[in-house]
């Protein structure tokens, strides 16, 4: 695994490639959506008793779920704006 400047440059290059390619953005959005839905389902049905035992576990679990949902919504908004920009440019 690369470290230092090369690792950062590689990460920026991968992020830029994902952000500029519509198909790649949609794949990332779909994976993020599946992750958030699985996270919510696990909290609602699989570990609900464990979360009910401790307030901090409950708050942490659902705070992370809310944060992941917010990131997903922001990325979807970026995708919508990018599609508008791409279509106007044609």
The secondary structure of 68-89 as a DSSP string is HHHHHHHHHHHHHHHHHHHHHH
Top pLDDT among 29 and 14 is at 29
**pLDDT tens per residue across span 17-61:** 888 888 999 999 999 999 999 999 999 999 999 999 999 999 999
* pTM for this model (two decimals): 0.81
In the prediction, which pLDDT does 68 show?
A: 97
**Mean of all residue pLDDT scores within the chain:** 91
In the prediction, which pLDDT does 69 show?
A: 97
Strands (E), 1-90: none
């Amino acid at each position: 695994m690369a470290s230092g400047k090369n690792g950062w440059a590689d990460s920026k290059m991968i992020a830029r490639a994902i952000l500029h390619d519509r198909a790649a953005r949609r794949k990332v959005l779909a994976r993020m959506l599946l992750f958030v839905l699985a996270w919510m389902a696990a909290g609602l049905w699989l570990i609900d008793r464990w979360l009910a035992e401790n307030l901090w576990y409950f708050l942490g679990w659902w705070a992370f779920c809310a944060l992941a949902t917010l990131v997903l919504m922001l990325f979807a908004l970026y995708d919508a704006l990018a599609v508008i920009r791409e279509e106007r440019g044609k």
